[in-house]
Structure 1
Amino acid sequence: MGKRSTVSLIAALAAGTLLTGTLSPGAEAAAPGADGSSRADAAGSSGVPDRYLDTVTIPQLQARMADGSLTSSALTRAYLRRIKTVDPKIHAVLRTNPKALRQAAASDARHRHGKPLGPLDGIPVLLKDNVNTRDMPTTAGSLALAGSPPGTDAALVTKLKDAGAVILGKANLSEWANFRAAKPTSGWSAVGGQTHNPFVLDRNPCGSSSGSAAALAASLSQVAIGTETDGSIVCPAGMNGVVGHKPSLGLVSQSGVVPISAEQDTAGPMARNVVDTALTLSVLTGDDTPRLDAAVGGPGDGGTLHGSLRGKRIGLWRLPSLGPEVDAVMTRTARKLRAAGAEVVEVTPPYQARLAELEFPALLSEFHRDIDAYLGTRKGPRDLAALIEFNRTHPAEQTCFAGQELFEQALAAPPTTDPKYRAMRAELKDLSGRSLDETMAAHDLDAIAAPTNPPAWTTDCARGDNDVIPSSTPAAVAGYPSLSVPAGRVGELPVGLLLMAGDRQDAKLLSLGAAVERRLNAWRAPRYLPTLGR
């Protein structure tokens, strides 16, 4: 993305948040006074109160760092303190970065001289632990990679550092991004143990970016990086009541990220609000993705995040299989969107049964190819066969579930040079794109909406996940963008609204998502309940 487009987008985002007064829920009550203290909470030793962290946005933080009333060092200490006091409840953070405060101090110097590097300069970021960092372990949750760090940063980490972001640490994940066992337990890894849902601690955080989402819900970082092959950004975001964006395939470099499939994998931004998510995307995409110019544009080309819902046409894919309580959330959501001037029509994208039939066999072949290539760059098992043997001989890898059926099936899968595989992936690409394109064209839609997730199920190693959630699949397989924003709750448990649009329509989708977010006003802080009982 060119510098002019980046600056235009940042200006538009800041205007949408700072000038129109659209703070996150509860931000006004927790806003700092003239002396930097909160009217609602006493600050900790960092000088930044916890409740302020719940609701503050990046543009608000940058405004305070610009006028000298806040430093990145104080902000970073506040998040480190939160991790120390809150993370023992949820086990979302694997490790903090010993260089974080040094990075924050460098940012403070830039701000003092009026030369910040961009919207993320001084902003603490957590990385999912399948993203390479040269000076911290990158394990994908597996003891097989728990030795030496990779030695080089992932391309997206380089972009974050070049933009002045503070790398706060690494978040737990579902081991091998949930592509090891036939019945895995999301949020569990041999390295990090089990991550808990902050809303109800015996409930599951969903998907492989579980630690990233749970950490954000608990206000342990300002933003986080997740990764998705199918649902692993958006489902954790929905189930933990935060925002998650799966970008269009190829907008964010996958270099240095532990893979499942190059045909579907992407890293993406997660945050407590859409504006922070969008600003993080603007940094992750960087200057080596000129196609983003068309997707982002400027304030006059859909790049703003403070547009109206009036006149927008949204197709609602209800997915009653997720249960009547989730369907009731969708009914309330549709009513609120219509009240804001949107037209909501019910749709059912075609070809879903065929996509479900083809996706998994294709991923098996792709995983074998791509994980072998990645393991060849690391110390430890050098290919999938050696990784399978490692798991067989290390009991700690079997403490929640012993299975590695997906590894074994991938080892036996046809290679990606096989004509049958190639035909399968071509059909997947065709049908997934058509499922969204045809639906949007037939109803003249700006986006398709669906429930992101069911209420969080109880975590149970013996049973595994209860995660047949079809809403993420069309966009994931097609490589189109999707965005989950909080929609409401079933009792104490959050439910997200998944928005999908056409290829490279990321900026327009984020703008629409911000309008939906403001209208639904569904973000809530978690209460860390131990259980809901029966």
Structure 2
Amino acid sequence: MRHTTAAALALVLLASPVLADEPYDAAAEAQQQLARIAALDDAGPQLNAVIVYEPEGPNYANEASEAGMPLDGRTVLVKDNIETFEWPTTAGSLALRDNATGRDAPLIANIRANGGVIMGKTNLSEWANIRDNRSTSGWSAIGGLTRNPHATDRNACGSSSGSGAAIAAGFAWAAIGTETNGSITCPASVNGIVGFKATVGMVSRTHVVPISATQDTAGPMTRTVHDAALLLSAMAGSDPLDPATAEADTHKTDFTTGLDDFSLAGVRIGVMRNQVGNVAGVTALFEQALSDLESQGAVLIDIEYDWPDGFWGRSLTVLLFELQRDMAAYLGTLEDGSMPDTLADIVTFNRENSEKELRWFGQDLFEQALETTDEAAYREALETNLKATREDGIDRLLAEHGVQFLVAPTTGPAWSTDLVNGDNFGGGVGAGSLPAIAGYPHITVPMGAVERLPVGFSIFAGKWQDHEVLKAGAAYEKARTAELPTPSFDPWKPAE
């Protein structure tokens, strides 16, 4: 299949949508998705969202659909820091390019058991964007640079950049991302899709390349809230190898139930005013989103919250200490003797392969992690920041103001990608670090666009409130009045 213009490529994406009342043809959808990958990822704008994909996907989709399981043969792309038995799991690094373990992460096994088809692996910010302070999100030595389908010279955000771009481009029904601090919600926001970061402990992290046992979790990235809820229902559950998930089976449910019936009438919602930021277009969209909530009967309560002194320094201490500890634990499960054993081995590998690994940015965070070994300091930082985000953070804000949810814009519009100078976050937009560090559920739902660049609307709440957050996301999705942008597959241009 060959297309000569971005407009023609966009038609591939938009052709033949499946309506809610039509029977789902899993094989036909998978075939169209393969065509889109060939036209938009391998050729055309070369989004570089997908590292490897399954050419037999349509056949597997047909088989899974005939089995009558909940996912009905729907296709799922997987961030390449999550193990699947078919392909190596690289975390984007040449150090793990041959990391073919032949095993499925439990969350992947759960998806297959529920009738999902693993369609391939998505690109990511290398090592989930923890290698260097000056990194460019969406770049890895394995996959190159992921491009944003809405503006190919703009960033797809990290670290689940490939998952976000792939779903925006229609390469699969859904994708799996992972988040430590914003790595599901940011790429979902800037790519104009739904992203759900589950309560830490709802989804197993076994056989997932780690950063932080305290904060890491996987979650669905989809085009609708219903689809996110359906995929979460399939992937969630307790895992004896991951102690954090001990209560997951207690809180797991069919997360799609009640989405259509949830009413915002009388629901009190806290508005995180200090986290709206200073990007005028984002503020205007956010005010429109708040009006949409009020039109459905929601009661909005303005909330003032400031990050505590020393918060960000303590957060880095926790991440770096857990990185060197948890990475060694993961690497210790690999049977291939050619794989690195420790974070120090990875640092050495990068130095020895600096032309390919370190051309665009270094590994200062990896090197700092090797020196972050004071366990007492780590414990103090961990306890202080968990208290700041839980007891003195989300829990306190919900209780003091009598609100069920907290809302804010997710992040600003995608910035221009710059491999030389790195990322350009700005505008002070978003409160996602609160639920990320607390380990609480957080959904982002498309809110509209600023100059054709998507922006998301964040909703979060307390621990194990995943189902309620999904319901609120569905209610906002239904109430939303802003027009959503369509991917252009072209470089960014000002709106006419």
- TM-score under structure 2 normalisation? 0.89
Equivalent residue, structure 2, for 1:442 = 400
Equivalent residue, structure 2, for 1:117 = 69
Q: Distance in 2 between matches of 1:192 and 1:134?
A: 19
SS, match of residue 191 in structure 1:
coil
Describe the superposition over 1:470-528 as per-residue Cα deviations: whole angstroms up to 9, x where unpaired: 51111011110000001111111111011110000000110010000111155432112
SS, match of residue 138 in structure 1:
coil
SS, match of residue 170 in structure 2:
coil
Identify which of 415, 418, 422 aligns with 1:460: 418
Describe the shift of the 1:521–1:84 C-alpha distance in structure 2 as closer, same or farther (beyond 3 A): farther
- Match runs of 1:264-279 below 5 Å: 264-279=215-230
Whichever residue aligns with residue 459 of structure 1, its letter is T
Q: Could you tell me how far 1:384 is from its partner in structure 2? A: 0.9
Contact 2:229 2:470 in 1 (8 A): yes
Whichever residue aligns with residue 386 of structure 2, its letter is K
Question: Bigger shift: 130-139 or 229-238?
Answer: 130-139
- Match runs of 1:240-319 below 5 Å: 240-286=191-237, 291-292=247-248, 295=251, 303-318=258-273, 319=275
Question: Bigger shift: 403-412 or 306-315?
Answer: 306-315
Identify which of 362, 381, 395 aligns with 1:403: 362
Alignment of 1:105 with 2:87, yes or no, is no
Describe the superposition over 1:5-26 as per-residue Cα deviations: whole angstroms up to 9, x where unpaired: xxxxxxxxxxxxxxxxxxxxxx
Q: Could you tell me how far 1:193 is from its partner in structure 2? A: 0.5
Alignment of 1:51 with 2:14, yes or no, is yes
- Match runs of 1:187-266 below 5 Å: 187-266=138-217
Q: Distance in 1 between matches of 2:246 and 2:352?
A: 47
SS, match of residue 64 in structure 1:
coil
Whichever residue aligns with residue 269 of structure 2, its letter is I
Whichever residue aligns with residue 174 of structure 1, its letter is S
Q: Could you tell me how far 1:406 is from its partner in structure 2? A: 0.5
Q: Distance in 2 between matches of 1:164 and 1:440?
A: 38
Whichever residue aligns with residue 151 of structure 1, its letter is G
Describe the shift of the 1:158–1:396 C-alpha distance in structure 2 as closer, same or farther (beyond 3 A): farther
Describe the shift of the 1:390–1:371 C-alpha distance in structure 2 as closer, same or farther (beyond 3 A): same
Structure 1 segments unaligned to the other structure (5+ residues): 1-41, 43-47, 111-115
Contact 1:296 1:506 in 2 (8 A): no
- Taking only the aligned residue pairs, the percentage that are identical comes to 41
Q: Distance in 1 between matches of 2:347 and 2:152?
A: 32
Contact 1:303 1:511 in 2 (8 A): yes
Equivalent residue, structure 2, for 1:355 = 311
Q: Could you tell me how far 1:255 is from its partner in structure 2? A: 0.3
SS, match of residue 488 in structure 1:
strand
Alignment of 1:149 with 2:110, yes or no, is no
Describe the shift of the 1:99–1:152 C-alpha distance in structure 2 as closer, same or farther (beyond 3 A): farther
Structure having the larger proportion of residues in helix: 1
Whichever residue aligns with residue 385 of structure 1, its letter is A
Aligned-pair RMSD on alpha carbons? 2.5
Whichever residue aligns with residue 69 of structure 2, its letter is L
- Match runs of 1:423-442 below 5 Å: 423-433=380-390, 434-442=392-400
Aligned length: 471
Alignment of 1:512 with 2:467, yes or no, is no
Structure 2 segments unaligned to the other structure (5+ residues): 1-7, 240-244
Q: Distance in 2 between matches of 1:311 and 1:302?
A: 20
Identify which of 469, 474, 487 aligns with 2:434: 474
Q: Could you tell me how far 1:350 is from its partner in structure 2? A: 4.4
Question: Bigger shift: 363-372 or 289-298?
Answer: 289-298
Q: Could you tell me how far 1:402 is from its partner in structure 2? A: 3.2
Contact 1:261 1:366 in 2 (8 A): yes
Q: Distance in 2 between matches of 1:339 and 1:352?
A: 34
Describe the superposition over 1:51-88 as per-residue Cα deviations: whole angstroms up to 9, x where unpaired: 256x547x65xx614xxxx3x22221111111111223
Contact 2:129 2:159 in 1 (8 A): yes
SS, match of residue 431 in structure 2:
helix
Describe the shift of the 1:294–1:377 C-alpha distance in structure 2 as closer, same or farther (beyond 3 A): closer
Q: Could you tell me how far 1:117 is from its partner in structure 2? A: 1.8
- TM-score under structure 1 normalisation? 0.83
Contact 1:355 1:432 in 2 (8 A): no
Contact 2:182 2:432 in 1 (8 A): yes
Alignment of 1:484 with 2:484, yes or no, is no
Alignment of 1:329 with 2:292, yes or no, is no
Identify which of 339, 344, 351 aligns with 1:385: 344
SS, match of residue 350 in structure 2:
helix
SS, match of residue 490 in structure 2:
coil
Describe the shift of the 1:321–1:252 C-alpha distance in structure 2 as closer, same or farther (beyond 3 A): same
Describe the shift of the 1:391–1:295 C-alpha distance in structure 2 as closer, same or farther (beyond 3 A): same
Whichever residue aligns with residue 141 of structure 1, its letter is G
Equivalent residue, structure 2, for 1:339 = 295
Identify which of 109, 113, 129 aligns with 1:178: 129
Equivalent residue, structure 1, for 2:23 = 64
SS, match of residue 118 in structure 2:
strand
Equivalent residue, structure 1, for 2:353 = 394
Contact 2:150 2:490 in 1 (8 A): yes
Q: Could you tell me how far 1:305 is from its partner in structure 2? A: 4.0
Q: Distance in 2 between matches of 1:385 and 1:303?
A: 49
Equivalent residue, structure 2, for 1:74 = 28
Question: Bigger shift: 368-377 or 284-293?
Answer: 284-293
Equivalent residue, structure 2, for 1:494 = 454
Equivalent residue, structure 1, for 2:489 = 528
Question: Bigger shift: 124-133 or 309-318?
Answer: 309-318
Q: Distance in 2 between matches of 1:223 and 1:56?
A: 14
Alignment of 1:366 with 2:322, yes or no, is yes
Q: Could you tell me how far 1:131 is from its partner in structure 2? A: 0.5
Q: Distance in 1 between matches of 2:260 and 2:422?
A: 39
Whichever residue aligns with residue 488 of structure 1, its letter is G
Q: Could you tell me how far 1:330 is from its partner in structure 2? A: 1.4
Q: Could you tell me how far 1:296 is from its partner in structure 2? A: 5.7
Contact 1:125 1:165 in 2 (8 A): yes
Q: Could you tell me how far 1:148 is from its partner in structure 2? A: 4.1
Describe the shift of the 1:367–1:441 C-alpha distance in structure 2 as closer, same or farther (beyond 3 A): same
Alignment of 1:422 with 2:367, yes or no, is no
